[in-house]
Amino acid sequence: MVSEVARRHDIAPSQLFGWMRRFRPEAEAVSASVDPPTFVPVALDVAPVMHPVPTLSPEPLAAIEISVGIATVRIRGAVDTRSLAAVLKALKVLA
């Protein structure tokens, strides 16, 4: 599980284990002095909608432009975070 988290955030598992070892005593001290989380009751009021819901026009596609040195990356529309991270990492290597 720790290795999965480390890979997801592009850090070495040993670094994550080091942080856990370093900050565990402080985290345990803070959590001991704080009330544990609790659930609160929820009441839903589900009333029927009597008026038609207006349709929304499609939003314009977002655009991102990143320039580093002579390299420029233009992204239009939706992109998944993993692909964007790979592109930015490659751009960092080229810069």
18 vs 29 pLDDT, higher one = 18
**Number of domains the chain is built from:** 2
The per-residue pLDDT for range 36-93, each reduced to its tens digit, is: 666 677 676 766 666 666 666 666 666 778 777 777 778 777 777 887 888 778 777 6
Distances (CA, A) of 17 to 6, 38, 48, 73: 9, 29, 52, 35
Domain that holds residue 66: 61-95
Assess if residue 8 is contained within a domain.
yes
Please determine, for residue 7, whether its predicted confidence score (pLDDT) is greater than 80: yes
Assess if residue 45 is contained within a domain.
no
Tell me the pTM: 0.32
Assess if residue 43 is contained within a domain.
no
Assess if residue 39 is contained within a domain.
no
C-beta separation of 66 from 72 below 8 A: yes
19 vs 91 pLDDT, higher one = 19
